[in-house]
């Protein structure tokens, strides 16, 4: 099993997952050229992708879709309202734009989307199952609902938003309406929220967690890691044994290639 966060943040998002020889791309918010280069760097081929899953229509999650679908004719799945709200929908080949179901099989991966709270048309996270492993992705969410908590439970690998530090955001240069939007229930998850979510989550013996969608303006990778780690440690979690934390970056690949069973 391989999970590689090719890019994460407000400048673009893309995650590559390979489970049981089925290859899926979650979001395509960076250019198709950069996706190809990133996949080449980890020994994968863009032509071998079995499907693209789209979490929501914001540009930092779909900017690469037009070239990706037109050039490589990959099947892409999104909620109907997401397709309708997408700025580039008219540029996309109709036969590549497929509707998400409550559950679907792509190759050997079972995909189960779940609703999240974000200011988009119909945003979702994803649970991916194959070979006895579970990978869950939840970024761009204002708060963790019971539905989200249940969806993330007992994951082998989890990609979870840790967008901002509250104090940095409040004291930063963003205008107040934008700060209010980020801190709202339909905005983004703070470092402390990510930490408490993990601390209260039903977990397997060992979980790998990627802290994702870190703000360049209102966060620092080491601050996100320290904040989450402190909460987990204070709640009795043994880092490196119960949970291993991985950081993600806007222009750097973060990956895990191993059997996590």
The neighbour count for residue 95, using CB atoms within 10 Å, is 9
Q: Which residues contact 90 (CB under 8 A, 6 or more apart)?
A: none
C-beta of residue 199 within 8 angstroms of C-beta of residue 231? yes
Closest CA to 26 of 165, 137, 141, 162: 137
Average confidence score pLDDT of the chain: 96
Q: Which fold has domain 2-256?
A: Metallo-beta-lactamase; Chain A (3.60.15)
**φ, ψ of residue 12 in degrees (nearest 5):** 150, 145
Each residue of 163-185: pLDDT tens digit? Answer: 999 999 999 999 999 999 999 99
Task: Say whether 35 sits in a helix, a strand or coil.
Answer: helix
Q: How is the chain split into domains, by residue range? A: 2-256
Q: Where are the alpha helices (DSSP H) in 76-171?
A: 80-85, 146-152, 166-171
What's the DSSP call for residue 164? B
The pTM assigned to this predicted structure is: 0.96
Task: Say whether 165 sits in a helix, a strand or coil.
Answer: coil
154 sits in the region (left: phi over 0; alpha: psi -120 to 50; else beta) called left
**Averaged pLDDT for residues 149-161:** 98
Confidence band of 260 (pLDDT split at 50, 70, 90) = very low
Confidence band of 41 (pLDDT split at 50, 70, 90) = very high
**Averaged pLDDT for residues 49-78:** 98
Tokens for 8, please give them.
């994460």
Q: What is the pLDDT of residue 261?
A: 45
Confidence band of 258 (pLDDT split at 50, 70, 90) = low
């Amino acid at each position: 099993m391989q999970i590689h966060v090719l890019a994460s943040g407000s400048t673009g998002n893309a995650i590559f997952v390979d489970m049981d020889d089925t290859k899926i791309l979650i979001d395509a918010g960076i250019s198709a050229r950069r996706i190809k280069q990133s996949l080449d760097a980890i020994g994968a081929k863009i032509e071998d992708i079995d499907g693209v899953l789209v979490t929501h229509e914001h540009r930092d999650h779909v900017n690469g879709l037009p070239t990706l679908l037109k050039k490589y004719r990959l099947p892409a799945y999104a909620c109907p309202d997401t397709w309708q709200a997408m700025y580039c929908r008219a540029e996309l080949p109709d036969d590549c734009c497929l509707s998400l179901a409550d559950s679907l099989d792509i190759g050997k991966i079972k995909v189960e989307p779940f609703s999240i709270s974000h200011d988009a048309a119909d945003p979702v996270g994803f649970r991916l199952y194959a070979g006895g492993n579970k990978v869950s992705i939840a970024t761009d969410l204002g708060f963790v609902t019971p539905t989200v908590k249940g969806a993330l439970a007992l994951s082998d690998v989890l990609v979870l938003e840790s967008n901002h530090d509250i104090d940095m955001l409040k004291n930063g240069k963003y205008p107040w309406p934008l700060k209010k939007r980020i801190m709202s229930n339909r905005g983004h998850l703070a470092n402390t929220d990510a930490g408490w979510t993990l601390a209260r989550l039903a977990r397997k013996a060992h979980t790998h967690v990627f802290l994702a969608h870190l703000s360049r303006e209102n966060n620092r990778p080491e601050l996100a890691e320290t904040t989450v780690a402190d909460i987990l440690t204070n709640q009795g979690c043994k880092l490196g044994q119960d949970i291993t934390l991985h950081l993600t970056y806007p222009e750097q690949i973060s990956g895990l290639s191993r059997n996590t069973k």
